[in-house]
Amino acid sequence: MEKAGIPTVGLIFPDQGNYYKNVALTTGCPNIRWIGVPRIGTPVEMVATYYQQVKKCLCDPLTAKEKESGLYSPPNPPRVLFEGTDKEAQDFLQQTTLIENCRMCPIAKYTDGLPVIIPTEESVAAMLTGTSHKPTETVGRPFASLGMGGVTTPAGAQVTYAQSFTSTVEKVAICAVMAGCKPQYMPVALAEAVAGGGSTNCPGTSSMWPVWWVVSGPIAKELGMNAGQGSMDVGNPANVTLGRVGALMTINFGGCITGLVRTDSGNPIHSVMFAEDLDASVFSQGWIGFNEECTHFDAATGTNVPYKKTESVLGKGGGWGLVTGIYTFPGYYRSLNQGQYGLARTLGVEGKPGKYNWLEVFAPLIVADWPAPSAQGFIMHMNLAQLLYDYGFKTKDAVYKWLWDTYTIPVTTYKKSGLFDHPTDAGTTKEPTSGRTWNDLLQNDPNYQLHVFGGANYKSNCIIVGDSFGDEHWYYNVFGGKPSAQPIDPWR
CA 381 to chain CA centroid, nearest Å: 21
Q: What is the mean pLDDT of residues 68-86?
A: 76
Across 130-144, 195-209, 218-232, 376-390, least confident range: 195-209
Query: 463 forms bridges with which residues in the sheet?
Result: 378
- pLDDT at 390 (0 to 100): 97
Least confident of 157-161, 196-200, 298-302: 196-200
Q: Which pLDDT does position 74 carry in this prediction? A: 63
Q: What tens digit of pLDDT does each residue of 107-136 get?
A: 788 888 888 999 999 999 999 999 999 999
Q: Does pLDDT of 60 surpass 70?
A: yes
Q: What is the mean pLDDT of residues 318-343?
A: 73
What pLDDT shows up at residue 21?
A: 46
* Contact of 88 with 6, CB cutoff 8 Å: no
Identify the pLDDT of residue 412: 97
Angle at the Cα of 233 (from 469 to 113), degrees rounded to 5?
135
Higher pLDDT: 23 or 210? It is 210
- Model confidence band, residue 141 (pLDDT cutoffs 50, 70, 90): very high
Show the beta-strand stretches assigned E in 64-120. Answer: 96-99, 105-108
What is the structure's pLDDT at 2? 31
Average pLDDT of every residue of the chain:
83
Full-model pTM: 0.85
Where are any strands of DSSP class E within 142-197? 145-146, 152-153
List the domain boundaries for the chain: 16-24+71-275, 325-487
Q: Tens digits of per-residue pLDDT, 353-411?
A: 999 999 999 899 889 988 999 888 888 889 899 999 999 999 999 999 999 999 999 99
| pLDDT tens-digit map of 234-287 | 889 999 999 999 888 888 887 776 666 555 554 555 678 999 999 999 999 999
Q: Residue 438 class from Cβ within 10 Å (0-12 exposed, 13-18 middle, 19+ buried)?
A: buried
